[in-house]
Amino acid sequence: MAEQKNHVIPLLTPYGMGNFNLSHRIVLAPLFRARSYNNVAQPHAILYYSQRATKGGLLITEANSISPTCQYHPNAVGIWSKEQIEAWKPIVDAVHAKGGIFFCQILHTGRVSDPDFKPNRQTLISSTNKPLTHNGIEPRALRTDEIPHIVNDFRLAARNAIEAGFDGVEIHGAHGFLIDQFLKDQVNDRTDKYGGSTENRCRFALEVVEAVVEEIGADRVGIRLSPFSDYNECNDSNPQALGLYMAKSLNKHGVLYCHMVEPRWDISGENKETPHTLAPMKKAFNGTFIVAGGYDRKEGNKAVAEEKANLVAYGRLFLANPDLPKRFEVDAPLNKYNRETFYTPDPVVGYTDYPFLEGSS
């Protein structure tokens, strides 16, 4: 139902996130698009991101690999080299020119990777030796003394992101990638100080947070978590406790935001039935709380109005509607996303050719 004139649209209200003045609550979710050839951001991303930038709107990049030890796709962007930093600069500048706020998502994939894409076909690393059933490739459990090096790679990636001009970073602790492989008890089978109790399983994530905070300042650090997700065969026997423990621990580091994926979100794209909610985590966390997963305009407005979230991240809808905030403002119909072109390498098709509403750009 369309709002009446002067009716407040919760998603379109301003919000102060730390030092950032957001003019609305609609966030571009991190979206891997497989168009960063040879792991370097490309000039066509200037148009893609600036199409989605608005004055005072928060954008989060696609996941950036933090080191060559997590090359998982030939066209997945990285942020470990000088060339990669330089390549991001004009993209960041274009977003800033439109008044956007731009965070860089940083990732280590761990066992979710393909040795074929790695230099010298290195063995995959993880918290465990257990392979993913779909590829059967056995990863190597990191030795305790190797873990500080990976933490340091996150630190360096954050430094690189700031050098590229980003306003901050989002640590990717979700979806079964390396950090999540430590967090979840159905994957982490370690017996050292990084395994066993919730506290121990969260140690790696929190060491990464601490290092990144130390490097760039807590007011520029967010983290993404998906305690309820079983994506990439990564689940936990008590996601509620895990999510709560992380939310409370993040307070100690004063991080800017916590971005959580809804329990209902399923990789199939359908919202599944679940009795769980993120409400206890939102309540426990002192900073900005971002939610994602299966939101539309109505649900996003409801979440903000009911204070279940400060901000709402949109993935597929923002991918297909570059002017999503405008469309939500006027309650316009939405373009449909085309799954077939999510991860194709074309620099235009399915990437920057989704139409704007007539008269907006």
Which residues sit at the interface with ligand FMN, rule CB under 6 A?
29-32, 62-63, 105, 172, 174-175, 224, 261, 265, 292-295, 314-317, 342
Closest CA to 70 of 105, 114, 10, 30: 114
Whole-number minimum distance, CB 174 to ligand FMN, in Å? 5
Identify which of residues 265 and 285 has a Cβ nearer to ligand FMN in the complex: 265
DSSP for 35-74 reads -SGGG---THHHHHHHHH--TT-EEEPSPEESSGGG--ST
Spatial CA neighbour of 331 closest among 361, 294, 357: 357
- CB 295 → ligand FMN: shortest distance, Å? 6
Q: Which is nearer to ligand FMN, 141 or 341 (CB)?
A: 341
Shortest Å distance, C-beta 317 to ligand FMN: 6
CB of 354 to ligand FMN, least distance (A): 13
For ligand FMN, the closer CB: 141 or 291: 291
Residue located via tokens 């930093």 = 85
Q: Nearest-CB residue to ligand FMN?
A: 315
Tokens at 276, concatenated: 């769980």
Asked if 76 and 34 count as a contact pair (C-beta separation under 8 A), the reply is yes
| Bridge partners (DSSP) listed for residue 187 | none
Cβ of residue 143: shortest distance to ligand FMN, in angstroms? 27
**Hey, what are 101's tokens?**
């706020």
Nearer to ligand FMN by C-beta: 22 or 313? Answer: 313
The one-letter code for the residue type at 354 is Y
Q: Which residue, 18 or 315, has its beta carbon nearer to ligand FMN? A: 315
Minimum distance, C-beta of residue 213 to ligand FMN, in the bound complex (Å): 20
Location of structure tokens 């470990």:
80
| Residue with Cβ nearer ligand FMN (173 or 287) | 173
Rounded-to-5 percentages of helix, strand, coil across the chain:
40, 15, 45
